[in-house]
């Protein structure tokens, strides 16, 4: 796991992860204080939930995907990939170790966000505490299942086409899956189109992993059967993304 340790130590020394941790821990308390939430105590906790998960998503999409792309490109252009290949570390293992090193920083960010919501936005009614724990666990699980494949894909695309391409393509895919498919769905409800319907059906529905509004309005945990269907759906995307990432990933630069 030498490449894993090297990648993790490189990311750690750049200290950008500290900004993400600061944003997830501090902004949920700071932003509501400078907004109208202080005048309406009932919306203080919902505002904290909104700020927490906005920070988590922003850190993952902006910093996480950028870091993944940067490390994927660096592994190829610096010659590290070629070196580790000569020492017996296969391309598959190189991609996996880089991916895991990035997840080591993304998972704690998601855990921090979940912890803030559980500890500082818990409903006052004791009868709702169990539901709140379940809903936050569901959010954490779906978030990681949805975002982890994108991070691995960013590493792979960047290793072949460069860091800018890796970051731009995965960011656009994530934004489309989170918000674009919703607009496309609304468009199809107003005016059916078989071609657009086919595109929508094969589009990644990352928006199903965003339970911020469900937490905000305290709509309750997702039913067990539906939750496991979502887990299976995102797991299928994970398997597909892993295969695609392995096909894209390379250890040697063509230049």
Check residue 37 and give its pLDDT.
59
Encode pLDDT of 18-29 as tens digits: 999 999 999 998
In b/e form, how buried is each residue of 163-194, taking b as 16+ CB within 10 angstroms? beebbbbbbebbebbbebbeebeeeeeeeeee
Rounded distance between C-alpha atoms, residue 123 and residue 136, angstroms: 12
Rounded distance between C-alpha atoms, residue 235 and residue 224, angstroms: 16
Rounded distance between C-alpha atoms, residue 204 and residue 184, angstroms: 12
Check residue 44 and give its pLDDT.
80
Rounded distance between C-alpha atoms, residue 26 and residue 29, angstroms: 6
Residue 39 has pLDDT above 70, yes or no: no
Question: Is residue 131 a contact partner of residue 220, using CB atoms and an 8 Å limit?
Answer: yes
Encode pLDDT of 185-209 as tens digits: 999 888 888 998 999 999 999 999 9
């Amino acid at each position: 796991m030498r490449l894993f340790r090297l990648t993790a130590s490189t990311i750690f020394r750049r200290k950008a992860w500290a900004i993400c941790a600061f944003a997830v821990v501090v902004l949920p308390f700071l932003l509501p204080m400078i907004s109208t939430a202080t005048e309406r105590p009932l919306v203080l906790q919902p505002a904290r939930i909104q700020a927490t998960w906005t920070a988590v998503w922003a850190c993952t999409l902006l910093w996480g995907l950028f870091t993944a792309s940067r490390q994927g490109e660096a592994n190829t252009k610096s010659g590290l990939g070629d070196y580790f290949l000569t020492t017996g570390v296969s391309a598959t293992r190189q991609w996996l170790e880089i991916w895991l090193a990035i997840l080591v920083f993304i998972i704690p960010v998601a855990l921090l966000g979940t912890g803030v919501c559980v500890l500082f936005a818990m409903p006052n009614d004791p009868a709702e505490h169990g539901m709140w724990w379940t809903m936050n666990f569901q959010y954490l699980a779906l978030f990681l299942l949805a975002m982890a494949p994108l991070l691995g894909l960013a590493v792979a695309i960047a290793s072949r086409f460069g860091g800018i391409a890796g970051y731009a393509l995965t960011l656009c895919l994530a934004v489309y899956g989170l918000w674009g498919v919703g607009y496309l769905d609304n468009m199809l409800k107003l005016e059916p189109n078989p071609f657009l319907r086919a595109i929508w059906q094969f589009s990644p529905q990352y928006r199903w992993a965003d339970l911020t509004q469900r937490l905000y309005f305290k709509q309750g945990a997702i039913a067990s059967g539906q939750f496991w269907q979502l887990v299976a759906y995102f797991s299928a995307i994970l398997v597909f993304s892993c295969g695609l990432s392995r096909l894209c990933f390379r250890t040697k630069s063509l230049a």
